Amino acid sequence: MGVTGHRSIPAAVLPSVLSGMRRQLSAEGRLEALSSLAAGADQLFADIALANGVPVTAVIPGMDYEAHLGDAEVQVSYRRLLECCAARVDLPRESTHEEAYYAAGRWIVDHADLLIAVWDGCPARGLGGTADVVAYARRAGVPVTVLWSPGVLRR
C-alpha cells in the first residue's frame, strides 16, 4: 500500500485523513507501507503504519532529498522514521527535484496494490505532485483511495 499526498494538510481535513489512514492500515492480511517520508501525508502514513506494526519501505528520490524536505522539525521526523523502516529504496539521480519526486511516486505506484492519496482534487503545483501520481496510478490500473473532506482547499 503506497501513499501520495500534500505536504500541508489543513486542520479541517486532518481528522478524516488520520481516520482513513488508520482504517486502511488496520486491514486484515499482510501489509507493507510505501512512503517517501516527505512532510505531511507521507510522514503521517508512515507513523500510523509503524504504530500498527506495518513495515514501512522508504522510497527515496534520487537527489539531496533530506535537504529539501523542509524545516529542522520535518528533517528530524524524516530521520526518525527512516531509522524505523524495514527497507529503503534509493532511486537513481534525476535531472531535477520535480523529476525525482515523480520517479518516486511512480515507483510507489508500480509496487503497490492500493494508493492512498491525501489530495484536494486540484492539479499538481509542479511535476510529481499528488495529482500527477494519482493520474499515473489510475492509468496503471492501481486502485486509488482519496482521503480529503469535500470543499476544503489547501493554501
pLDDT tens-place string over residues 100-128: 999 999 999 999 999 999 999 999 888 88
The CA–CA distances, whole Å, from 10 to 15, 21, 74, 130 equal: 10, 16, 17, 15
Among 85, 17, 79, smallest CA distance to 49 is for: 85
- Per the prediction, the chain carries an average pLDDT of 94
2-146 to CATH, choices 1.20.20.10, 3.60.20.10, 3.40.190.10, 3.40.50.450: 3.40.50.450
In the block, cell 500541508 appears at: 8
* pLDDT for 155 beyond 80: no
Residue 96's identity, in one-letter code, is T
Extents of the domains making up the chain: 2-146
State the pTM of this model: 0.94
- The residues, any chain, with a CB within 8 Å of residue 62's CB and separated by 6 or more, are 90, 91, 92, 93, 94, 100, 103
More confident residue, 28 or 34: 34
